[in-house]
Amino acid sequence: MSRVGVVTFPGSNCDADLRHAVSLFGMTPVAIWHKETALPPVDAVLLPGGFSYGDYLRCGAIARFSPVMADVVRFAGRGGPVLGICNGFQILTECGLLPGVLLRNEGLLFQCRDVELTVGGAPTPFTRGLAGQTLRLPIAHAEGNWFADEETVARVEGEGQVVFRYVANPNGALMSIAGVSNPAHNVVGLMPHPERYVEGAVGGTDGGGVFRSLAASIGPTQLRAEGANA
């Protein structure tokens, strides 16, 4: 059975939700504490939402220096699938795995509601089979306003790195961008929370597609993290 690591930082509050979502789709969740210096054997790594280190300095700015992140970067560099959701997205931009930054929302208000977003861009381990679909997912953030310079925006658009886009922009993000990938398309970040909508009893099931895609993308031949010296 595929193993999916879920990293917990001080202030994470969606890690349990992520582990539950992973288990619902036939994968084994592996809890990883941020002070670990090497990843255990896993087929993918997920960074959850929350308020790592209380969002001091900038969202994700301290968490990017957590010991485990050095091996997350190495894992991503070897092609391992990495997903950052909300605060996890912010951490991935801070450590340079994803382009752009997440600024305060336009209007400076915390946004907590359902949004619609379209799926596009190049295929990723988290969006295969979802291209062209419109998903309804919840957001809960104050710093979800994706921003980058003109050159970066042009590159991200041109290389198929925009994988999620808001139908109605809730936070002022450039080009209504809700999620992006890295150039190799194995690292993805998005602000909406797919793990919160995997069961109808809690409001929706559209988030299940992200985990179903991951389950189909990783298997016995998928590269696994094997520690800092791998």
**Cα Rg, the chain, nearest whole Å:** 16
Catalytic residue among 34, 141, 185, 193: 193
Active site includes 193? Answer: yes
Which tokens hold the place of 161? 């790195």
Tokens of 3: 């193993």
Annotated catalytic residue 59: no
Per the residue annotation, which of 86, 95, 141, 185 is the catalytic one? 86
The residues carrying an active-site annotation are 86, 193
